[in-house]
Chain A
């Protein structure tokens, strides 16, 4: 009986061992497969996160570029290194914890330079090249995927790193990581990138207003550089950082955009309505000139000032405490008799007031830039821009203190050809009747148009004026 029991027990033991062995083999193979797939998924996830790190580097660079546009001291590029190199503007190495990967350190390497090939010869605007490398360590063993195409796509740095200082230079690693490299080119964006841009409310209270666009530099979109309704373009865009555009059923040939707000009276808008707009306007600081024309120091009667052929020269600059023209008094900005190109910059530390038949006359060939710190009130045909180009008369409102309220009022003008950038001023254009036309662009704290005034945005303004932002125009991932 003992031998029989012994034989049965042995049989069970064999069966048990065989079954356990088979199950163990299955378990091991399953575990091996699952582990490989888990590792692959983890590496893929880290690879994706590295792209976010690299793109964050572009954002960091654009933030510094935007800071550099602010009046001094703007603290741009503080904390950035400037290693020796050709045209290097800034270089930064930042390591921050990645919340998506349980605090894994994420290294962002950013290199900004300004190649001479990226200077626009038409306006001398510098485009910048931003090269970033986002690096995140890989958790787990330094094991490559079993599929060679995965390896070619997701280039993991298991033992060697491919990128150093934004340059392809391999070096030995102590732990596996993944790096992704992006090169982006950013271009400057003009203050006059839209027909109307407002920090707060845009109010087009009259339904007969037409907002459209033309391009004075393109004969297919203008006639002799002037607005032609037969060549009307649909880039008369209106945008606000606020929540409300009162379109008043105006005929808008372009897009409208709010900051998570609403557009009322939007029946006649040809473009799209967006709610994702926000662009902080760069405040204008007072000019910090070292020298300028000593006379005149203010304008209260008929006066002539002379423009200069040299842009930015002392001879082209004037500082006035105020401009006050009433009756038939005029301020003439004189250019060369032959109408050749001349420049003038006027800084008005106080108010500008033109009433009655008083007038500011900008003669042919003169490109005038007027900075004003106070209020502007211009009625009648108070401004005559002889060139009929809004790019030749630019009005910049210096940012007032937050405690004060400043304004720009244009009233009863049949035609204004100018560009107005005053993000700290409430801008109102009223009157003008059915033939009232504004050729140019308006940026204000609030913008109100009443009494039938049409606005024709000159698209050429998009490449002139002060730089207000930077925009990505090229993006490429270097996947060597």
Chain B
């Protein structure tokens, strides 16, 4: 009997223990799962934000480098926010071959016909920043850049390009300080004498 009683009482103890164990283990499992879920979610958000930042930064660099290249060889500039036009020498002929320059009689030179130049237009439209050279199809330099702003400050011999975007690191939106931190500046020394203002070469 004692043995039987003991045998009968054991399952009761074990059963009770199993319920509490189930509750505890479920709680632990839920806690761990919740922690893992939160961790993975955080990791995923962090990954997405980092990837987004990285892509945006690459976009900034690309726009800046494109503009710097054109500004270095610019002979005239029309600067405005999100819309800048740069005129460069007509270095290539219609077949794409470089031309020998001609003296302009005023201490300078020009390529192609006198007074000609190539127009390079940078502009932001419908969340895409384009670069268009003369009448050629516009090339998208960066897409999904609704929050991009590029400013070109014309200081005569140097031009400063300022590109910003709003990072998405936190759900409540980027702070002003964080936005400032993403500003990308590039000051370019213009190599050519300008035709639109009185400015000498370096």
Interchain nearest-CB distance for B92 vs A (Å): 8
A477 CA to B193 CA, complexed, in Å? 15
**A residues in contact with B81, CB < 8 Å:** none
Q: Residues 98-129 of chain A: 1 if any B CB is under 8 Å from the residue's CB, otherwise 0?
A: 00000000000000000101111010000101
Q: Which of A117, A149, A477 contacts B62 (CB 8 A)?
A: A149
Whether B98 sits at the interface, judged by CB under 8 Å, is yes
Instruction: Check if B36 sits within 8 Å of A478, measured CB to CB.
Output: no
Whether A143 sits at the interface, judged by CB under 8 Å, is no
With A149-B140, A149-B141, A153-B65 in contact, do A22 and B40 touch (Cβ < 8 Å)? yes
Instruction: Check if A471 sits within 8 Å of B54, measured CB to CB.
Output: no
Whether A162 sits at the interface, judged by CB under 8 Å, is no
Instruction: Check if A26 sits within 8 Å of B108, measured CB to CB.
Output: no
A150 CA to B43 CA, complexed, in Å? 29
Whether B121 sits at the interface, judged by CB under 8 Å, is no
Interchain nearest-CB distance for A153 vs B (Å): 6
Interchain nearest-CB distance for A127 vs B (Å): 7
Whether B155 sits at the interface, judged by CB under 8 Å, is no
Whether A473 sits at the interface, judged by CB under 8 Å, is yes
8 A Cβ contacts from A423-480 to B: 462-463, 471-480
Whether A21 sits at the interface, judged by CB under 8 Å, is no
A122 CA to B103 CA, complexed, in Å? 11
A473 CA to B62 CA, complexed, in Å? 28
**A residues in contact with B91, CB < 8 Å:** 183, 476, 478
Q: Which of A19, A463, A473, A480 contacts B109 (CB 8 A)?
A: A473
**B residues in contact with A249, CB < 8 Å:** none
Instruction: Check if A153 sits within 8 Å of B103, measured CB to CB.
Output: no
**B residues in contact with A187, CB < 8 Å:** 107-108
**Which of the 9-residue segments B66-74, B145-153, B158-166, B177-185 touches chain A?**
B66-74
8 A Cβ contacts from A1-50 to B: 19, 22, 26, 29-30, 33, 37, 40, 44
**B residues in contact with A26, CB < 8 Å:** 43, 47
**B residues in contact with A472, CB < 8 Å:** 191, 201-202
A476 CA to B69 CA, complexed, in Å? 9
Interchain nearest-CB distance for B145 vs A (Å): 13
Instruction: Check if B98 sits within 8 Å of A473, measured CB to CB.
Output: no
Q: Which of A30, A153, A476, A480 contacts B96 (CB 8 A)?
A: A480
Q: Which of B98, B105, B108 contacts A183 (CB 8 A)?
A: B98
**A residues in contact with B109, CB < 8 Å:** 118, 127, 185, 473-474
Q: Residues 94-112 of chain B: 1 if any A CB is under 8 Å from the residue's CB, otherwise 0?
A: 0010101111010111010
From B190, which residue of chain A is reached at the shortest CB distance?
A: A475
Q: Residues 170-202 of chain A: 1 if any B CB is under 8 Å from the residue's CB, otherwise 0?
A: 000000000000011101000000000000000
Please name 12 further chain A to chain B contacts, defined as beta carbons within 8 Å, in addition to the given A117-B101, A185-B101, sorted by A numbering: A115-B100, A120-B103, A129-B101, A149-B62, A149-B142, A463-B107, A473-B193, A476-B88, A476-B89, A476-B111, A478-B91, A479-B69
B: residues with CB less than 8 A from A are 36, 40, 43, 47, 51, 54, 58, 61-62, 65-66, 69, 72-73, 88-89, 91, 96, 98, 100-103, 105, 107-109, 111, 139-142, 191-193, 201-202
A: residues with CB less than 8 A from B are 19, 22, 26, 29-30, 33, 37, 40, 44, 115, 117-120, 122, 127, 129, 147, 149-150, 152-154, 183-185, 187, 462-463, 471-480
18 contacts between A and B (CB under 8 A): A29-B47, A37-B58, A44-B61, A117-B102, A118-B100, A119-B103, A120-B103, A149-B62, A150-B62, A153-B66, A153-B69, A185-B109, A473-B192, A473-B193, A474-B101, A476-B88, A476-B192, A477-B69
Closest 10 CB pairs of A and B: A475-B191, A474-B109, A476-B73, A473-B108, A185-B109, A476-B91, A37-B54, A149-B141, A115-B100, A117-B100
